[in-house]
Amino acid sequence: MKIKLQILLSFFLFTAFLGGKKWTSLLDKNLSQWDVYLSYPDKSQNIEGLPRDADGKYTEPIGLNKDEWGVFTVKEENGEPVLHVSGEIYGAVSTKREFENYHLKLQVKWGEKTFAPRKTEPMNSGLHYNAVGPHGADYWKTWMRGQECQIMQGRFGDYWSQAGAKVDVRSVKQADGTYLYSKNAPLVSFGEGEKAGGYVARVQDFEKPKGEWNTVELINFEGKSLHIINGQVAMALENSRQIVDGKEVPLRKGKLELQCEGAELYFKGIEIKGLKKLPKKYQSYFSK
């Protein structure tokens, strides 16, 4: 009976998403729509039974759905589920299913604790989308291949390429060699093998003061995406693609990932709805 109910619930959520008219919640008290992946702990952490090398570094990740440390937990606050991310071990929650052509929104705020190897660094996390392939494919051996909307103190809405994902962004090169999104600038390619690298900064800082909830929205439609922070477009991206067997192919759908990257934080109000077309209010960002 339990299995049948889970199948019926999954069918209902999938049908609601395809309809595109109503928001579908992705968060419940059991994290039933997500998998949990924990990577290689910092060597300062004591994880019993996990092998280390001669220098004390862990040689294996903790793995999938083995979160006995409570890195990702859900509590109910004011009648709604809130995902607490402890920050203690690098990892992510990833949706069990893939999504294509959608509008995603969530709220996020910082906690207080930070952990090695980012103990003294700005608090950091991220929203990955179009995430495909195995966990641990990126340079930190933690996340999947995909596009990242960065969630970081002072850097909400930045872009990072992960593990072979590529994209084009209208941007200008800064004096320090990095690139800044600019709506009317020429398109520049970012990702593996590109001269510009795999990072683009958002147009400006739209983050709220620490302790307040920030609203992050993602529009993802037919290879185009927008990072929207507290109602403001931080960046528009297009031609999402990936390298497969040495060739570039479209990367338009995939899972969603929420990072744990050494900082305590909270997520709530994680909702999604399908899109049949790019919303009119955002079409000007791609009509050059």
The greatest distance separating any two alpha carbons of the chain, rounded to the nearest whole angstrom, comes to 62
Q: Which amino acid is at 80?
A: E
Q: Report the alpha-carbon distance of residue 191 to residue 185 in Å, rounded.
A: 18
- Report residue 21's pLDDT band, with 50, 70 and 90 as the boundaries: confident
Q: What is the pLDDT of residues 143-158, one digit of tens each?
A: 999 999 999 999 999 9
DSSP 246: T
Mean pLDDT calculated for residue range 8-24: 63
Asked whether 178 and 201 are in contact (CB, 8 A), the reply is yes
- % pLDDT > 90, the chain: 90
Task: Inform me whether the pLDDT recorded for 269 exceeds 60.
Answer: yes
Mean pLDDT calculated for residue range 265-288: 94
Task: Inform me whether the pLDDT recorded for 283 exceeds 80.
Answer: yes
Domain boundaries, the chain: 25-285
Task: Inform me whether the pLDDT recorded for 250 exceeds 70.
Answer: yes
Phi–psi pair at 170, nearest 5 degrees: -70, 115
Task: Inform me whether the pLDDT recorded for 1 exceeds 90.
Answer: no
Mean pLDDT calculated for residue range 120-141: 96
Query: H-helix or E-strand containing 256?
Result: strand 253-260
Q: Which amino acid is at 96?
A: K
| Residues pairing with 35 in the sheet | 94
Q: What is the pLDDT of residues 148-205, one digit of tens each?
A: 999 999 999 999 999 999 999 999 999 999 999 999 999 999 998 999 999 999 999 9
- Closest of 206, 207, 253 to residue 97, by C-alpha: 253
Q: Give the pLDDT confidence score for residue 252 in this predicted structure.
A: 97
CA quadruple 73, 116, 160, 232: dihedral positive or negative?
A: positive
Q: What is the pLDDT of residues 226-249, one digit of tens each?
A: 999 999 999 999 999 999 998 999
Q: Give the pLDDT confidence score for residue 288 in this predicted structure.
A: 63
Q: Where are the beta strands (DSSP E) in 96-186?
A: 99-100, 102-114, 124-132, 145-152, 159-162, 165-173, 179-181
Indicate the average pLDDT of the chain. 93
Q: Report the alpha-carbon distance of residue 235 to residue 225 in Å, rounded.
A: 8
- % pLDDT > 70, the chain: 93
Provide the token pair at 244.
Answer: 């497969």
User: Could you tell me the fold of the domain covering 25-285?
Assistant: Jelly Rolls (2.60.120)
Asked whether 173 and 189 are in contact (CB, 8 A), the reply is no
Query: H-helix or E-strand containing 3?
Result: helix 2-19
- Report residue 2's pLDDT band, with 50, 70 and 90 as the boundaries: very low
Task: Inform me whether the pLDDT recorded for 287 exceeds 80.
Answer: no
Provide the token pair at 92.
Answer: 């992510």
Provide the token pair at 113.
Answer: 């604790």
Mean pLDDT calculated for residue range 86-102: 98
Q: Give the pLDDT confidence score for residue 19 in this predicted structure.
A: 56
